[in-house]
Chain A
Amino acid sequence: MGNRKRQWFYYILFSLVGVAFIGRLFSIQVLDDRYKSLSKDNFLKKVVQFPPRGLIYDRSGKLLVYNDATFDLMVVPRQVKDLDTAEFCRLLKIDKESFNRKMEACKVNPYRSSVFEKQISALTYSRFQEHLFEFSGFYVEVRTDRRYKTKSAAHILGSIGEVNDQIIANSNGYYRQGEYTGISGIERSYEELLRGTKGVKNIIVDVRNRTVGPYFDGAYDTAAITGSSIYTTLDADLQHYGEALMGGKIGSVVAIEPATGEILALISSPSYDPNLLIGRERGNNFVELMHDPLKPMFNRPLNAPYPPGSIFKAISSLIAQQEGVLHPGTRYPCGGGYRVGGHTVKCSHGHPSPLELRGALMHSCNPYFCYVFRSIVDQRKFSTFEESYNNWYKHLQSFGIGTKLGIDLYGEAKGILKKSDYYNRIYGKGGWKGSTIISLAIGQGELGVTPLQMANVMAIIANRGYYITPHVLKYVDSLGKTGPRFESHNCSVDPKYFPIVIEGMADVVKSGTARVAQIDSVEVCGKTGTAQNPHGKDHSIFFAFAPKENPKIAIAVVVENSGYGSQWAAPIASLMIERYLFPEREQIKRKYLEDRMLNADLVHQKTTNEPVSH
């Protein structure tokens, strides 16, 4: 019968479906190799092994920063069974309400492990651990966190914190959410050395994220490599001593070893205990520090530009000699003031007049240096005043003023030094000259020098004409005991012009404005500064280096709004020099001076006294 032919319909139908299926199989199994890696994405979990971070030492090998184990309580919500919540909360010292809140947050990923409680204390951990087996689904993950052996040097050492989106984006895939990185200080600048190398453990997980075992018996695993330890140039003892002296005062101290550019101490006052920025309280403490009106988080030595005041006179002396417009025997009259138009730059120091250069430095004669300044910037050899100014500007830059020195710490500011354009904008081209900007002669006006730059200027004078880029890294243990080489920079003034300025600075301490800075058996060269500023009392500033021959330390001290340079800055600098040059002395010789400095609380006094303005 005719219908018999219809059997072919079935053969064709079955075959067509079969051919379609085989074609599809060929396409997804043989042609498309995407699925192999997709299957790997499923079962292969790469567990990052975090290496311990490198340690940080001071220049003598004293340990400053190390690691300690912390314990994160983790939970896989789906595995939690028959939990005795009351007992659990009692052991962990949390209330039922926060238990529920945390548990809800973790339940977003019921099969994944989430942090239930971050960084539980070792004590809680030890008590909790004995009962851990009763709480299925919970386990403890041991991590390391930073600990500081010292309460000082917070700004230099820096801190670590969780990476933000920007850091992740810029890290070429190195960082992932929740990981830590150095966010300030040495922790930041030497992050790549300190962090070490992450390892990877390849494990197989099933669909419930349960570990099944190692992938290929760990053949593709890599071990974590511990971070390199860093030996800093810091003298922990000097740093600590300086911080104590700066207690109750706002300001900065920077001490450099002139021959090497090594930072011996870098003090920002007020500071904070670096241990505040670790562990569970990090966030709260951070917010508190940020809101402190005294700005303890502000890294003054690198960031705060101060008018240098009289200290600038030493630099002018050098530049003027180099320009051939000043000789040691050049005399200018004082007359109690230098008159420009209706304005007079007064000289506050009673001294004989006229003076030669050395005497002018010792007495810090303002009019003398107004003449010197004008002799530099009003030179006839330049066709315009602007050209002459630019010449002066270049000299200053070679002293590191108005430029970033390139210290190996994050967040260095370049200070304030105006280009000629700035004055052109204000006074019009050709509308200004030496007399217009005469304040610069005595280190006032549009000039801001950071304490780091001040100390560096002192290093230049101590070295008679050059400086090494200031730095805090002495060496890295994994690279042998040799440190990286930091660049040497010559300033624009010939070494032969330095001795007369150094003699003048020695006189300042011997018989001038900074007699308080004298130290037995060591010749200290220094220069006081008393910088007027719109924020209240003058800043007390002092720079020095010692000994005069073969200097070991160059130092700059700024105590904000506290008065004359000789009142606060000079004693502090001098005490620190003594401490550094005579480490064997158990006691500073000038106990009375030390006590006066240690006990002075200018911060709170300031709030009661009316600011004095000049």
Chain B
Amino acid sequence: MSRYRTKESFETGGLDWLTILQYLAMVLFGWMAIYSAVFNPSNASMFDLSQSYGRQMMFIGLSLVIGIAILIIDAKFYSAFAYGFYGMAIFLCIVVIFIGAETKGAKSWFAIGGFKFQPVELAKYATALTLAKYLSRYGVNFKELRVKLISFGIIGLPMLLVLLQNDTGSALVFLAFFLVLYREGLPSWIIALGFHVAILFILALLVDKILIIYILCGIAALLSIFTWKNRQFLIVIIGALIFSILVVVSVDYVFNEVLQDHQRARINVLFGKGGDDYNVRQSKIAIGSGGLFGQGFLNGTQTRYDYVPEQSTDFIYCTVGEEYGFIGAGGVVLMFVILMIRLVRIAERQKNKFSRIYAYSVACILFIHFTINIGMTIGLMPVIGIPLPFFSYGGSSLLGFTILLFTLLKLDSNRVNEMQSLND
């Protein structure tokens, strides 16, 4: 009883208004940036539907309506229909490959009338719900290999389909679910292995491969000396060494044969190895010229005169950086970090596993979008075209993130009614 009293607001349920306020703040800030990016003195009306800021205003309104609807619908609906959504998403992801409208080389959009819709947004949502539902089922234990494999399958199927749509950026977002699985008991070594391979890959592109192999051997030798008597450990070390060397050696092959030309070019640009760095350069100029306080609303020259590519969608963060400076751009980073940490905290206060896994999924999806998108605009990531949640122009993406977040809020508000999961 004492827990109920002291942490009343946190435990008694109800809506998490702070998150809703933060959501509204980000969406409106995003809208202002879009307004700046496409501003044209002769067309300044905020609600002009011929302009993207006018349409975005409409999407914001629509998002709020849908958000409210989600909060009204019974919380059981989401787990009940999880597999249905998943099936529909998979179906649409397959169909889009055949009848989708091609945009920048990717066949990931349905164009119906004047509106466009990207099934990957539904796929993200459905995968989150399905993974949560499957793993929270009675009798399913993540420690079992079979469960692990099925989980990987749930994630891997839509990811593969999105790759087939040639939308690599969106496919990368599905990596978020592997992060989620870590919380559910995925062995640390798999996550460590993931980071290890990523670091080796980057190093192999930057530094002489022979040198890396020498260093790896050196580290392995040192470790072996300290653990000489433990034969088992010795075998692990030797195995890891051989694996690492294989990774390093295969980097060239992956880089040259697996990656597509434009992906290779973008990685080269990231590491300063030449190539057409126009987009990244202009993006950095925009953000860099913002200074501490920024040039002010509607005063960003990079944005106003269209030097930044895709400036209302994937590169919307440039407008924030240019017009609001370090204070504004840093503020946005802070807002995302706070939101994501808050979502993990919300996840942890859930009594049932379904809600928790779903909440982690939302946090990790946001994390991947945030990292890739902002990292790209400030030159820390290769150019990968995925939107910045709540900021980038686009109905599909705004509605997608709204549904993700508000479903979480609904589940959270309903947690007092849930039974504690048995196999937590």
A16 to chain B, nearest CB (A): 10
Q: How far is the CA of A49 from the CA of B284 in the complex (A)?
A: 33
Residue B374, interface by CB 8 Å: yes
Q: Is the CB of A36 within 8 A of B183?
A: no
Residue B315, interface by CB 8 Å: no
Q: Is the CB of B306 within 8 A of A25?
A: no
Binary flags per residue of A249-285, CB closer than 8 Å to B gives 1, else 0: 0000000000000000000000000000000000000
User: A3 with B337: in contact, given A35-B284, A39-B285 (CB under 8 Å)?
Assistant: no
Chain A residues in the interface with B (C-beta under 8 A): 1, 3-4, 6-7, 9-11, 13-15, 17-18, 20-22, 24-26, 28-30, 32-36, 38-40, 42-43, 204-208, 212
Q: Is the CB of A28 within 8 A of B334?
A: no
Residue B340, interface by CB 8 Å: yes
Q: Is the CB of B285 within 8 A of A42?
A: yes
Q: Is the CB of B367 within 8 A of A207?
A: no
What's the A-B contact tally at a CB cutoff of 8 Å? 125
A25: B residues at CB distance < 8 A: 287, 321, 326, 329-330, 333, 378
B288: A residues at CB distance < 8 A: 28-29, 32, 34-36, 38-39
What are the 10 closest A-B residue pairs judged by CB atoms, nearest first?
A35-B288, A18-B337, A206-B305, A39-B289, A28-B288, A207-B306, A29-B326, A35-B289, A43-B301, A38-B285
Most buried by B among A4, A20, A21: A21
User: A4 with B375: in contact, given A21-B380, A26-B326, A30-B326 (CB under 8 Å)?
Assistant: no
Give B330-380 interface residues, CB cut-off 8 Å to A: 330, 333-334, 336-337, 340-341, 344-345, 347-348, 360, 363-364, 367, 370-371, 374-375, 378-380
Q: Is the CB of B337 within 8 A of A15?
A: yes
Q: How far is the CA of A43 from the CA of B308 in the complex (A)?
A: 12
A42: B residues at CB distance < 8 A: 282, 285, 301-302, 305, 307
Residue B54, interface by CB 8 Å: no
Secondary structure call for the B interface:
helix
Q: How far is the CA of A207 from the CA of B308 in the complex (A)?
A: 9
Residue B184, interface by CB 8 Å: yes
Q: How far is the CA of A1 from the CA of B143 in the complex (A)?
A: 14
Residue B261, interface by CB 8 Å: no
B326: A residues at CB distance < 8 A: 25-26, 29-30
A11: B residues at CB distance < 8 A: 341, 344
A120 to chain B, nearest CB (A): 32
Q: Is the CB of B305 within 8 A of A22?
A: no
Q: Is the CB of B306 within 8 A of A206?
A: yes
Q: How far is the CA of A215 from the CA of B173 in the complex (A)?
A: 43
Residue B424, interface by CB 8 Å: yes
User: A29 with B325: in contact, given A4-B348, A21-B333 (CB under 8 Å)?
Assistant: yes
Q: Which residue of B lies closest to A205 (CB)?
A: B305
Out of B282, B367, B379, name the residue touching A17 (CB < 8 Å). Answer: B367
Q: Is the CB of B378 within 8 A of A30?
A: no
Q: How far is the CA of A26 from the CA of B288 in the complex (A)?
A: 9
Most buried by A among B288, B344, B363: B288
Q: How far is the CA of A547 from the CA of B182 in the complex (A)?
A: 114
Q: Is the CB of B424 within 8 A of A207?
A: no
B48 to chain A, nearest CB (A): 20
A13: B residues at CB distance < 8 A: 179, 367
> A14-B344, A26-B330, A29-B292 known; 10 other A-B pairs, CB under 8 Å?
A6-B183, A11-B341, A11-B344, A18-B334, A22-B334, A29-B287, A29-B321, A38-B289, A42-B285, A43-B305
B186 to chain A, nearest CB (A): 9
Residue B291, interface by CB 8 Å: yes
Q: How far is the CA of A39 from the CA of B308 in the complex (A)?
A: 11
Q: Which residue of A lies closest to B378 (CB)?
A: A24
A9 to chain B, nearest CB (A): 7
User: A36 with B291: in contact, given A18-B336, A43-B307 (CB under 8 Å)?
Assistant: yes
Q: How far is the CA of A25 from the CA of B380 in the complex (A)?
A: 11
Residue B316, interface by CB 8 Å: no
A44 to chain B, nearest CB (A): 8
Q: Is the CB of A9 within 8 A of B305?
A: no
B307: A residues at CB distance < 8 A: 39, 42-43, 206-207
Q: Is the CB of B292 within 8 A of A30?
A: yes
B327 to chain A, nearest CB (A): 9
User: A7 with B289: in contact, given A17-B371, A22-B334 (CB under 8 Å)?
Assistant: no
Q: How far is the CA of A208 from the CA of B309 in the complex (A)?
A: 12
The tally of residues in B whose CB lies under 8 Å from a CB in A reads 48
Q: Which residue of B lies closest to A20 (CB)?
A: B380
A280 to chain B, nearest CB (A): 36
Q: Is the CB of A15 within 8 A of B341?
A: yes
A36: B residues at CB distance < 8 A: 288-289, 291
Q: Which residue of A lies closest to B289 (CB)?
A: A39
A511 to chain B, nearest CB (A): 86
A1: B residues at CB distance < 8 A: 424
Give B5-61 interface residues, CB cut-off 8 Å to A: none
Residue B185, interface by CB 8 Å: yes
Out of B301, B363, B364, name the residue touching A204 (CB < 8 Å). Answer: B301
A584 to chain B, nearest CB (A): 68
A26: B residues at CB distance < 8 A: 326, 330
Binary flags per residue of B172-193, CB closer than 8 Å to A gives 1, else 0: 0000000100111100000000
Q: Is the CB of A29 within 8 A of B182?
A: no
B213 to chain A, nearest CB (A): 28
B120 to chain A, nearest CB (A): 23
Most buried by A among B291, B337, B364: B337
B61 to chain A, nearest CB (A): 30
Q: How far is the CA of A208 from the CA of B375 in the complex (A)?
A: 27
Residue B290, interface by CB 8 Å: yes
Q: Is the CB of B305 within 8 A of A14?
A: no
**Can you report 28 residue pairs joining A to B where beta carbons are below 8 Å apart?**
A7-B344, A9-B183, A10-B179, A10-B340, A10-B341, A13-B367, A14-B340, A15-B337, A17-B367, A21-B333, A21-B378, A22-B330, A24-B380, A26-B326, A28-B287, A29-B288, A29-B292, A30-B326, A33-B291, A36-B291, A38-B288, A39-B286, A40-B301, A42-B285, A42-B302, A43-B302, A207-B307, A212-B305
Q: How far is the CA of A131 from the CA of B22 in the complex (A)?
A: 59
B185: A residues at CB distance < 8 A: 3
User: A28 with B378: in contact, given A22-B334, A36-B288 (CB under 8 Å)?
Assistant: yes
A433 to chain B, nearest CB (A): 75
Q: Is the CB of A3 within 8 A of B292?
A: no
A6: B residues at CB distance < 8 A: 182-183
B248 to chain A, nearest CB (A): 25
Q: How far is the CA of A13 from the CA of B360 in the complex (A)?
A: 13
Q: Which residue of A lies closest to B329 (CB)?
A: A25
B344: A residues at CB distance < 8 A: 7, 10-11, 14
Q: Is the CB of A3 within 8 A of B184?
A: yes
Q: How far is the CA of A29 from the CA of B287 in the complex (A)?
A: 7
B363 to chain A, nearest CB (A): 7
Most buried by B among A9, A18, A33, A34: A18
Q: How far is the CA of A379 from the CA of B303 in the complex (A)?
A: 89
B423 to chain A, nearest CB (A): 9
Q: Which residue of A lies closest to B360 (CB)?
A: A10
A87 to chain B, nearest CB (A): 32
B184 to chain A, nearest CB (A): 7
Out of B184, B291, B306, B334, name the residue touching A208 (CB < 8 Å). Answer: B306
Q: How far is the CA of A462 from the CA of B319 in the complex (A)?
A: 80
B11 to chain A, nearest CB (A): 17
A321 to chain B, nearest CB (A): 80
B193 to chain A, nearest CB (A): 15
A345 to chain B, nearest CB (A): 79
A43: B residues at CB distance < 8 A: 301-302, 305, 307
User: A7 with B183: in contact, given A25-B287, A30-B291 (CB under 8 Å)?
Assistant: yes
A223 to chain B, nearest CB (A): 25
